[in-house]
Amino acid sequence: SLSDRLSGVFDKLRGRGALSEADVRAAMREVRVALLEADVALPVAREFVEDVTERAVGEEVVRSVTPGQMVVKIVNDALVELLGAESAELELNTAPPAVIMMVGLQGSGKTTTTAKIAKRLTEKDRKKVMMASLDVARPAAQEQLAVLGEKAGVDTLPIVAGQTPTDIAKRALQAAKLQGYDVLMLDTAGRLHVDTQLMDEMKAVAGASNPTETLLVVDSLTGQDAVNVAKGFGTEVPLTGVVLTRMDGDARGGAALSMRKVTGKPIKFAGTGEGLDALEPFHPDRVAGRILGMGDVVSLVEKAAETVKVEDAEKLAKKMEKGKFDLDDLRLQIKQMKAMGGLGALAKMMPGMKGMKQAGDVDDKALTRLEAMMSSMTAEERQKPKLINAKRKIRIAKGSGTTVQEVNKLLKMHQQMETAMKKLKKMGGFSKLAAMFG
């Protein structure tokens, strides 16, 4: 993956204090190729590489990560920024009904996405939503929306034959006003290509309905074409956001990257399947991870760099290598995990630790209580948890202001972790963990 390639180039620099310009440029050539392979538009890739080079040259290398990891993180951060780090909620603050107009090419997923968003607004935001199909070009397009409305539990405007899209928009607006709907969603007709007729129709509908949101729906699988479509629409109708569909397919993420840059508009949602619940708020960090091919490793490196003392980690790593994991180790872990955002955060970041889900539900306050319990134990008890009998449990609970039940939970959690560590070691995941801390 790209992240491996970048790490490789830079890890030759291990031990140097800062990243030199020549070395950064060499690695950025790899980044450029990888971006183009990921379907990023050439001018966007070029500008991106310039920007990252500027940022990376002279950057101090943090002691606990390698220069390669450092660069991966710089690239990742720049990608996230390019994808739009700001939140991208729907803007519905207006006198009701707020109108959401959906535009895009034929087959991009407009009708499906209309129903998905309507369902989400109804269920999550408790909005009263009406949908109307303005697609008079394709036979049965209006019926398709009506069927999806039934499935989603969302009302649709009754179909009247022979009306123009603008007529339907006006009628929908009128009905939504009279019947007290919060949101009116207009699903428009697409074409195979951007053409003047389509653009005139979109402009007329927008003029008649004054939308608060105009969302461009694009198929992420179409890569560079999607970007050209976005350009075409963007210059004719004022877009407020983009929805990328088919992110469940093998889209390489590059379209998303160019899209944000070309339209200047936030990507608000990602479609992740055909079902009506397959819609997610857009996560720039996930797409950046997809482009770099390394998932959440970046955040782990980031947190490790900030908080984990290398010496402690090495000590722990040595012990774990021998398959040993006592309560002293757990205490150290908890101290580190607290600093790294809690067990849940760690469990989520490490694929091998999924089995720790139960332990991962522990919140920060609970972590503090765990620490208190372990401080109330003797050194011998921490090294040999088996010694902790009923009598000792009462003493530990008293000493830490907790209960015997909580002490039991702690011991159970330690056992689970010990098992998880052993499993992780077996899976070879441990060497990865050690490499990251080393």
Residues found near ligand GDP in the complex (CB under 6 A): 104, 106-112, 190, 245-246, 248, 271-274, 278
| Contacts with 300 (C-beta within 8 Å, 6 or more apart), sequence order | 346, 349, 350, 436
The structure tokens listed for 147 are 């069927």
How big is the CA angle at 37 (ends 32 and 43), to the nearest 5 degrees?
A: 50
Helix axes 196-209, 165-178, angle to 10 degrees: 20
Q: Is 178 annotated as a binding residue?
A: no
The helix/strand/coil state of 432 is helix
How far apart, in whole angstroms, are the C-alpha atoms of residue 8 and residue 105? 42
How far apart, in whole angstroms, are the C-alpha atoms of residue 280 and residue 113? 11
The structure tokens listed for 34 are 């990888």
In whole angstroms, the minimum distance from the beta carbon of 276 to ligand GDP comes to: 10
The backbone torsions φ and ψ at residue 78, rounded to the nearest 5 degrees and listed phi first, read -65, -35
Q: Which is nearer to ligand GDP, 144 or 408 (CB)?
A: 144
Q: Which is nearer to ligand GDP, 104 or 223 (CB)?
A: 104
Q: Is 189 annotated as a binding residue?
A: yes
In whole angstroms, the minimum distance from the beta carbon of 109 to Mg ion comes to: 8
Residue 8: Cβ within 10 Å count? 12
In whole angstroms, the minimum distance from the beta carbon of 134 to Mg ion comes to: 10
The helix/strand/coil state of 145 is helix
Tokens 């729906």 -> residue: 217
- DSSP state, residue 213: E
Q: Is 107 annotated as a binding residue?
A: yes
Q: Is 248 annotated as a binding residue?
A: yes
The site partner of 245 among ligand GDP, Mg ion, none (C-beta below 5 to 8 Å per kind) is ligand GDP
Greatest CA separation found in the chain?
85
**In the window 185-244, what residues touch Mg ion (CB under 5 A)?**
none
| Contacts with 299 (C-beta within 8 Å, 6 or more apart), sequence order | 285, 349
The site partner of 266 among Mg ion, ligand GDP, none (C-beta below 5 to 8 Å per kind) is none
Residue number with the shortest CB distance to ligand GDP?
A: 271
How far apart, in whole angstroms, are the C-alpha atoms of residue 94 and residue 259? 27
The backbone torsions φ and ψ at residue 43, rounded to the nearest 5 degrees and listed phi first, read -60, -35
The site partner of 234 among ligand GDP, Mg ion, none (C-beta below 5 to 8 Å per kind) is none
Q: Is 109 annotated as a binding residue?
A: yes
In whole angstroms, the minimum distance from the beta carbon of 402 to Mg ion comes to: 59
Considering only residues 7, 111, 156, 212, which one is a binding residue for Mg ion as defined by CB under 5 A? 111
In whole angstroms, the minimum distance from the beta carbon of 96 to ligand GDP comes to: 25
- DSSP state, residue 386: G
Q: Which is nearer to ligand GDP, 234 or 429 (CB)?
A: 234
Q: Which is nearer to ligand GDP, 108 or 258 (CB)?
A: 108
The site partner of 274 among ligand GDP, Mg ion, none (C-beta below 5 to 8 Å per kind) is ligand GDP
**Residues 243 and 219: beta-carbon distance below 8 Å:** no
The interface region with Mg ion, picked from 8-16, 109-117, 368-376, 401-409 by CB under 5 A, is 109-117
Q: Which is nearer to ligand GDP, 199 or 332 (CB)?
A: 199
In whole angstroms, the minimum distance from the beta carbon of 229 to ligand GDP comes to: 12
How far apart, in whole angstroms, are the C-alpha atoms of residue 175 and residue 181? 9
In whole angstroms, the minimum distance from the beta carbon of 187 to Mg ion comes to: 6
Q: Which is nearer to Mg ion, 107 or 249 (CB)?
A: 107
The structure tokens listed for 306 are 């900030």
Q: Which is nearer to ligand GDP, 133 or 209 (CB)?
A: 133
Binding residues: 104-111, 187-191, 245-248
Give the residue ranges of the annotated binding site for GTP.
Answer: 104-111, 187-191, 245-248
- Binding stretches for Mg ion (CB under 5 A): 110-111
